[in-house]
Structure 1
């Protein structure tokens, strides 16, 4: 029996139904900012720098950079609120995932290890009604490093002691998991059905 079964959030538990570009364009337009390709690039580059550096409020930094570049009077905080709403609405949870999580919880402790600010990432679980499915959630901002660094996995071990850990995620997540001593299960969207595979293995 698996003692702790851990999942990446984005792209595994929660799937995108809209692209970043689509969402950003809608957010800019909603706040009177012309959604040009140049401004999208500015927002993305600002976010990437802040996110990779684990700087506070990377989404606000992104919106503020776009507002400044556009010489707009838009409110970056209001734009972040819209971005959050649109981002959450542009995701979905496969029904197979919900069914599997309900069954897996009977035999294993369940956890999420995810890259991003805790409030933003936990908000996705709340939005989809999944928060009560998990015994622990570790965000990379909690641990001071993004995957594939081992820090998020070590933090999970502190919060949720277990004899064995399994990590389901993309290549970077499972690389960090493997280095931390977790059993890795790599998920590829074009591969075999993830939830059927997990049900069969566990």
Structure 2
């Protein structure tokens, strides 16, 4: 979220700082005061922007889930064939994961700390994103739907490991490695069970 001038809004600054803090120290290791200090506010001043720490976390995870789904859906729709769609999904997810390591950590670790209504919406968006990938795999390969879904989840495990592994190589080399590994894994998903 940015204002029309292209500068981050205060809410965006809070969300970005919170993602970094939650990734580094965990949701329970961060106080409202910590969040406020990270963006030059007092803890109580943060309540003008969010009703509490759980609302900050919920907005971070809702945003991630909706962004992944929207862009994934757009890329699949724009692809000429299933191979192009898979390539577009891989490139999108790899770019997102490498560019947002804190968000990936928070996304995989903190969902249980989100209040139930938002958690349900996050899970709905996550499932829809997975189903975009599953649909592409089913168009590419003759395989059971359960196997395609399991392959997608395993591939996400690989791609979302980047906060722990990306520092070993430069971003470009890591993106190429992840793309090659994930393509190989998803191609092998069609092999014998």
If the TM-score is normalised by the length of the shorter chain, which range does it land in? 0.3 to 0.5
Pick the structure with more strand per residue: 1
How high is the TM-score relative to the length of structure 1?
Answer: 0.34
| RCO higher in structure (CA 8 A, sep ≥6) | 1
Structure 2 length-normalised TM: 0.35
